[in-house]
Amino acid sequence: MKWIGPLFTNAGGWSAYVSYFDGEWYIDKENPKKIGEGKSGLMLLPIMEKGYGEDYETQLELLRAGLTENGFNSELAETFPFHIPVIFSFEQRMSSWVEMAVEWIPNIELSEESAQLLFEASQDKLYNQRTRQLLQKVVNSWSKERGFQFVRSQH
């Protein structure tokens, strides 16, 4: 495997290198894991934090450069699963990470399931008003484009 990065180095000093191999993205040079499996969502959280991963465009540029260096088409950077840490933060109801993740939502592809999760989060008082309003804007736009009706959960 050829490694790209680091995309960031976390507070503990661990550097997040990723690899594109056989049509899949992997993380962790020492113990490669397919992104989307195991603790990969948790491992990728700092990608969304200023001072670590910075922002979506910064990450895309790092991936493009790394792919080119490794002999791949730089456009493969668009296939990186940025949705994994974004959605993970909502699934785990991690409010400080959600506040960062909300900025990344316009850059990720949403499934019906993830859009429903974001809709529910937009109703959740655990998150600050700004976060809920940004979520509401995103989910309203997403549902309008697709003619999708959200179902309020019975919590």
Over its length of 155 residues, how does the chain's per-residue pLDDT go in tens digits? 999 999 999 999 999 999 999 999 999 999 999 999 999 999 999 999 999 999 999 999 999 999 999 999 999 999 999 999 999 999 999 999 999 999 999 999 999 999 999 999 999 999 999 999 999 999 999 999 998 888 877 65
Angle between helix 112-122 and helix 83-91 axes, rounded to 10 deg: 50
Across the beta sheet with 24-27, the strand order is 18-21, 24-27, 33-34
Beta-carbon contacts of residue 149 (< 8 Å; ≥ 6 apart): 143
Could you tell me the pTM of the whole model?
0.92
